[in-house]
Amino acid sequence: MSSPEPVLAAGCVLWRPSPSGHGIEIALVHRPKWDDWSHPKGKRKRGEGAEACALREVREETGQRCELGARLPTVRYPVEGRPKEVDYWAARALGGTFVPGREIDRLLWLPPAAARTRLTRPRDRELLDDFLATAPPPSRRPRDAS
């Protein structure tokens, strides 16, 4: 007996420079159906590539246009007996306007430590940790010592 095909999805750890000028903020979305806080993500449409899906889902869920950065780990977990694979990228927000909807009713921009605390699932906290360790935005890189 063959295992079921995985549900393919994509998303982003969406960030922007903090309006205060110090550090960055991470975007988290609230899904009322699950009453959880997570990174923007969603299922791929037929024939849609992972990168295109990630960009579309960020736009649909947060209203933000974004620029994909470093590839982050793929997250795998079961959903209703089927495997799910979510490809993730770091993504810098380029601007837009959030409009609450049925799937996503709230958007928060938080400093990384507060975002980590607010995330509902351990796998999303691990993804944020991977982002902070492997894909620091330019504003977090150490200054050149020269």
Q: Could you tell me the maximum CA-CA distance found in the chain, to the nearest angstrom? A: 62
Q: Which residues sit opposite 89 in a β-bridge?
A: 12, 71
Q: Is 56 helix (H, G, I), strand (E, B) or coil?
A: helix
Task: Give the residue, 136 or 117, on which the prediction is more confident.
Answer: 117
- Averaged pLDDT for residues 93-100: 97
pLDDT of residue 4: 85
CB atoms within 10 A of CB 85: 15
Judge whether residue 74 has pLDDT over 90.
Answer: yes
Judge whether residue 142 has pLDDT over 50.
Answer: no
- Averaged pLDDT for residues 104-111: 98
Report whether 12 contacts 52 (CB < 8 A). no
Task: Give the residue, 71 or 139, on which the prediction is more confident.
Answer: 71
pLDDT of residue 76: 96
C-alpha span between 51 and 32 (Å, rounded): 26
Write down the residue that tokens 């037929």 correspond to: 46
